[in-house]
A and B are shown apart, each in its own frame.
Chain A
Amino acid sequence: MVNFLFYLSLFLIWFMLVYHMFLMQGGYMHFLRYQKKADLWEKRMAYYPKVSIIIPAHNEEVVIENTIEAMIRLKYPRKRLELIIVNDNSTDNTGSIINKYARAYSFIKAIHTKPPYAGRGKSGALNSGLVAATGEYIVVYDADNQPEEDAVYYLAQALQNDQKAGAVVGKFRVLNANKNMLTSFINIETITFQWLAQAGRWFWFKLTTIPGTNFAIRRSILEELGGWDERALSEDTELSIRVYNLGYHIRFFPAAITWEQEPETFKVWWKQRTRWARGNQYVILKFLIQFFQLKNKKVYLDLFYFLFTYMLFLAGVLVSNLLFVLNLFMDLDISAGGISLVLLVLAFLLYMTEIMLALSIEKEQATFKNMLAVILMYFTYSQIWLALVVYSLYLEAKRVLLKQDVVWYKTQRYKQTS
């Protein structure tokens, strides 16, 4: 029995690791190719389609100004650009800041939502913005984002050249990476996530998940789908799946870059990640229920991936940890022996090399300091994730069982002094 559990957990873990290893290979290949595509498309850019940028903002007075300034700096024909800032029931100065810019720039529109139509979360705010949008493409940024000047240009370029793409996702980078240890961990994590999971999945399966910011989507699609699902906690994952269901793919195009803020305190990070984890668990549940209605079979892959990440891989790690601890106190007679030690070492080496390769792709990230951070992360940041998923599973289970309402937690922002 113990042996069976041990093997089972080992397999669950290693299916995941092998999949990641495979994804990282794809991510590297995508890195080698995407720039050529960008160069090719640049020559083919026939006209500039009308783009509506929607920025939902709920009590964002600390960051919104920098964000709007970054939007103003965007290199995209002003006439073909529309910036819709949704002031979602803010109680701070957000509204007045937005209004100030709206008055100064004709391409900026301010939308203010008030109860009962306000405070329904990001999805609700985005839907309000969508109503006002006139663009052919909708681009979404979070209120803390500072896209690079050509970000929107690249997004539009990709959508225009790839007719099968329902949406195009750019890359995000961490603005406050050097703030403290937590943000430097998050920086490493996000870079790895994008090159391994996003680029890797795109390369092999033409699958990408919309990350909530720095992406462009055809308005026709949003209209067909009826906008964002206001019940979903992680509206982006949910939207991604629905886009695939329509028969489109979502392109990962790292040429479009935005910089965003990440949580600077553990508490904020915990709340944000709990929301994401719960969101993804909601998605698993929602689409497992309507499993056979999924039109794009590739989505199963992602659902399985989520299922693995949030349930099976988690269970595997927990069981193997438990067995390890029990083994210290009693003789469990696990027969796997030497090979499991080899696998343990390899798992760590894989973790290191995958992350270091992802960091290498970004300029000046594959540093010695970051390498030490990666090692430290393995024993700290990565392990906290276990507790986080268990906690979010508990919350989500409670929500389903007690039929509680979804409460949107807004990530706290920080004033950047640079």
Chain B
Amino acid sequence: MIVIKNGKSFKCVFLSLLLILLSCFEQSVKADSVSDSDLHVVIVYSSETGKVTENIKLLDMLIGHFSPNMTFLPSSEIEEADLQDADVLFYYGEVVEVLPAKVGSLFDSFTKTKVALGYNVEYLGDDYDFIQFGDNVLINELVLVEGNKKNELGDRLIFQMKDLKEAEVLVKGAGNGKEYPLFIKKNELYYHASYQIDSLFSTYLGEVFHEVFKADHPEGHPAYLRLEDIHPLTDHTIMKEIADIFIEKEIPYIISVIPIYRNPETGDEYHFGDFPKLLEVLKYMQENGGRIILHGYTHQYKADETGEGFEFWDVDANMPITVPPDETPEKKQRSDFQTEDEYLAFLAKQKAFEVDYIKTKVTKGIQDLVSYGLIPYAFEAPHYTMSQSGYEILSEHFSTYIGQLQLGDRDWQIMAPAPYATSPTFLHGMNLLPETIGYVEPDNPHAIDEMMKKAEEMTVVRDGYIAGFYHPYLGVEKFKELIGRMEQIPNLQWIDLQQTSNVVQVDNITVTAEETEELSVNVEYFELLKDSPEFYNPKVKSTADNTMWLFALSAGGMVVLFVLYAVIIKIRRMRTEKGKYYG
């Protein structure tokens, strides 16, 4: 049940002033964090440039499940003070580096939980001395020791640890019929014998990190299916059939909605109001377990078709969007500028454009949906592409992000999910509900099998997400197969965005979903009329159309009546004349 509360349009003057003052400080939209603790985690890293890399972002995502309170420091910058209130200390050696002696002594003096991953563990003080390396070994399988859960992956080299005494092996790598320790534990000391933490490594790390953080999360797999790329031209009959399947199975689900369809040839834009039958189905869906999320505004940039194009990433230049679609972006380095100030000014200009671009799109998208009575709960970027500063902008509007995350501004193709819900620092407070098993690829006959294989992998993690998406244009049959297969996965818990904490906020509209409470949609109608009168377009248009039909109906009725009157007059006159004649 959706309740739309009328915004208090007329506030006292001082209240408005207070609001204006408050709005000067941009705040991110906060909802309850997915993690249940507030442990301070310090992560020291060695990377090629000393900057945060995609892999470090992956680590961020893995740890964010347990605590959002993280500090990332390059090995060259760590100071004693940084560890003062640390609860868990991480070291991640992505590249070979001779660590400063200070790092070793700091690690030595830190007596709580320590986790090391990758290279350079030999510099991490006396505690790690027990680890001795042999030649690297090739593996193609990971094994979770507890429960002997095995999954294959492509050939990977890992470090070979020799003579492990007193250490407990949590994860093993297997290859050529042999097994090698991969993730080990010695008291409060942990080590991952590879600099690789992506794909299946990430999944296995996700499980064993529960032990690192002593997080006794209950077994069970949160799951969702997302109907993808629903725009105004989507076939409403398929949507209705899918909706009824969900209803019959009592499964809540997610609908990724794009408010505008833009025809790439003509440039014409269509709204949901232009397709009332689809709109009706969408409303039916959201009243029956379907939860709408915003999936961009047009899902395109430049001349691309809606659903095909990238919206928040310039895919041609492979960089964030920094110019209007008809202009070519400038890709410049520091070396292109004489002074640092000029370079910073250049970056600031690009960033300013991007901020405005994303804010505008998101605001219009939300306003458009709400104007049709469609209530969004979260955001999913088209093709999961979003610049790092884009996530920060999004965090001012959404508390929940659905899908996978682009891990840096270097290349959009480097993206990943987390194995579980998480709140990494680069989401600035947003919770990620990851999509982990992919989608039904149109031309791949084994697509659903492959999805199920990924789902199987996710069961390694005690609370691993099993979530995928489906394009309704593929038809109802494939969908039935997919959902049927998913239902067979044991211990699945379908998530309902209505039952978790979600906040969506743009100018004059706030949507708040809370467990146990009714959805609240707060609209400042009066302010909207001033700022975004187009919000009222759907209402005005439907009123106008209804009135026109009323005109047509009454006019048609009167035309019939007038003809009837004329005939009556004629008949009466004929009768009286006859009467006269014969009378």
With contacts A25-B558, A353-B563 taken as known, whether A14 is within 8 angstroms of B570 at the C-beta atoms is no
With contacts A336-B548, A339-B548 taken as known, whether A21 is within 8 angstroms of B558 at the C-beta atoms is yes
Check B352 for interface membership: any CB of A closer than 8 A: no
Q: For B554, give its contact among A21, A24, A354 (CB under 8 Å).
A: A21
In the complex, the answer to whether B561 meets A25 with C-beta atoms within 8 Å is: yes
- Give the complex CA separation of A343 and B556 in angstroms: 9
In the complex, the answer to whether B565 meets A349 with C-beta atoms within 8 Å is: no
Could you say which residues of chain B place their CB within 8 Å of the CB of A357?
562-563, 565-566, 569
A–B Cβ pairs within 8 angstroms, 27 of them: A10-B548, A14-B551, A17-B551, A17-B555, A18-B554, A18-B555, A24-B562, A25-B561, A28-B562, A333-B268, A335-B541, A336-B548, A339-B548, A339-B549, A340-B548, A342-B552, A343-B548, A343-B551, A346-B551, A346-B555, A346-B556, A353-B562, A353-B563, A356-B562, A357-B566, A360-B565, A360-B570
New contact pairs (16) apart from A350-B562, A366-B570, CB-CB < 8 Å: A11-B547, A18-B554, A24-B558, A28-B562, A335-B274, A336-B548, A339-B545, A343-B552, A343-B555, A347-B555, A349-B555, A356-B562, A357-B562, A357-B569, A360-B566, A360-B570
With contacts A11-B547, A363-B573 taken as known, whether A350 is within 8 angstroms of B558 at the C-beta atoms is yes
Q: For A360, give its contact among B544, B545, B548, B569 (CB under 8 Å).
A: B569
Within the complex, the shortest CB–CB distance from B36 to chain A, in Å, comes to: 51
Closest to B562 in A: A353
Residues of A within 8 A of B (CB): 7, 10-11, 14, 17-18, 21, 24-25, 28, 333, 335-336, 339-340, 342-343, 346-347, 349-350, 353-354, 356-357, 360-361, 363, 366
- Give the complex CA separation of A11 and B544 in angstroms: 9
In the complex, the answer to whether A350 meets B555 with C-beta atoms within 8 Å is: yes
- Give the complex CA separation of A133 and B549 in angstroms: 56
Closest to A8 in B: B544
Within the complex, the shortest CB–CB distance from A155 to chain B, in Å, comes to: 25
Within the complex, the shortest CB–CB distance from B267 to chain A, in Å, comes to: 10
In the complex, the answer to whether A346 meets B559 with C-beta atoms within 8 Å is: yes
Could you say which residues of chain A place their CB within 8 Å of the CB of B548?
10, 14, 336, 339-340, 343
In the complex, the answer to whether A354 meets B562 with C-beta atoms within 8 Å is: yes
Within the complex, the shortest CB–CB distance from B66 to chain A, in Å, comes to: 53
In the complex, the answer to whether A361 meets B274 with C-beta atoms within 8 Å is: no
Of residues 555 through 583 on chain B, the ones whose CB sits less than 8 Å from some CB of chain A are 555-556, 558-559, 561-563, 565-566, 569-570, 573
Could you say which residues of chain B place their CB within 8 Å of the CB of A17?
551, 555
Could you say which residues of chain B place their CB within 8 Å of the CB of A350?
555, 558-559, 562
Could you say which residues of chain B place their CB within 8 Å of the CB of A360?
565-566, 569-570
Within the complex, the shortest CB–CB distance from B244 to chain A, in Å, comes to: 30
Could you say which residues of chain B place their CB within 8 Å of the CB of A361?
569
- Give the complex CA separation of A164 and B552 in angstroms: 38
Within the complex, the shortest CB–CB distance from B557 to chain A, in Å, comes to: 9
- Give the complex CA separation of A248 and B509 in angstroms: 56
Q: For B555, give its contact among A11, A21, A333, A340 (CB under 8 Å).
A: A21
With contacts A10-B548, A11-B547 taken as known, whether A28 is within 8 angstroms of B565 at the C-beta atoms is yes
Could you say which residues of chain B place their CB within 8 Å of the CB of A366?
566, 570
- Give the complex CA separation of A347 and B552 in angstroms: 9
Could you say which residues of chain A place their CB within 8 Å of the CB of B569?
357, 360-361
Could you say which residues of chain B place their CB within 8 Å of the CB of A343?
548, 551-552, 555
Closest to B555 in A: A346
Within the complex, the shortest CB–CB distance from B570 to chain A, in Å, comes to: 6
Within the complex, the shortest CB–CB distance from B302 to chain A, in Å, comes to: 21
- Give the complex CA separation of A360 and B565 in angstroms: 9
Within the complex, the shortest CB–CB distance from B39 to chain A, in Å, comes to: 57
Closest to A7 in B: B544
Within the complex, the shortest CB–CB distance from A5 to chain B, in Å, comes to: 12
- Give the complex CA separation of A366 and B566 in angstroms: 9
Closest to A15 in B: B551
Closest to A4 in B: B540
- Give the complex CA separation of A322 and B561 in angstroms: 33
- Give the complex CA separation of A356 and B551 in angstroms: 21
Of residues 500 through 553 on chain B, the ones whose CB sits less than 8 Å from some CB of chain A are 541, 544-545, 547-549, 551-552
Could you say which residues of chain B place their CB within 8 Å of the CB of A18?
551, 554-555
Within the complex, the shortest CB–CB distance from A316 to chain B, in Å, comes to: 13
Could you say which residues of chain B place their CB within 8 Å of the CB of A336?
548
Within the complex, the shortest CB–CB distance from A297 to chain B, in Å, comes to: 26
In the complex, the answer to whether A346 meets B552 with C-beta atoms within 8 Å is: yes
- Give the complex CA separation of A254 and B399 in angstroms: 75
Q: For B559, give its contact among A11, A28, A349 (CB under 8 Å).
A: A349
Could you say which residues of chain B place their CB within 8 Å of the CB of A354?
562
Could you say which residues of chain A place their CB within 8 Å of the CB of B544?
7, 11
Could you say which residues of chain A place their CB within 8 Å of the CB of B274?
335
- Give the complex CA separation of A10 and B555 in angstroms: 14
Could you say which residues of chain A place their CB within 8 Å of the CB of B561?
25
Could you say which residues of chain B place their CB within 8 Å of the CB of A346?
551-552, 555-556, 559
Within the complex, the shortest CB–CB distance from B574 to chain A, in Å, comes to: 12
- Give the complex CA separation of A383 and B87 in angstroms: 87
Within the complex, the shortest CB–CB distance from B263 to chain A, in Å, comes to: 12
- Give the complex CA separation of A258 and B512 in angstroms: 75
Interface 1/0 per residue, B22-55 and A, CB below 8 Å: 0000000000000000000000000000000000
Most chain A beta-carbon neighbours within 10 Å: one of B552, B561, B562 = B562
With contacts A7-B544, A335-B274 taken as known, whether A356 is within 8 angstroms of B566 at the C-beta atoms is yes
- Give the complex CA separation of A366 and B544 in angstroms: 37
- Give the complex CA separation of A336 and B274 in angstroms: 10
In the complex, the answer to whether B554 meets A353 with C-beta atoms within 8 Å is: no
- Give the complex CA separation of A365 and B182 in angstroms: 104
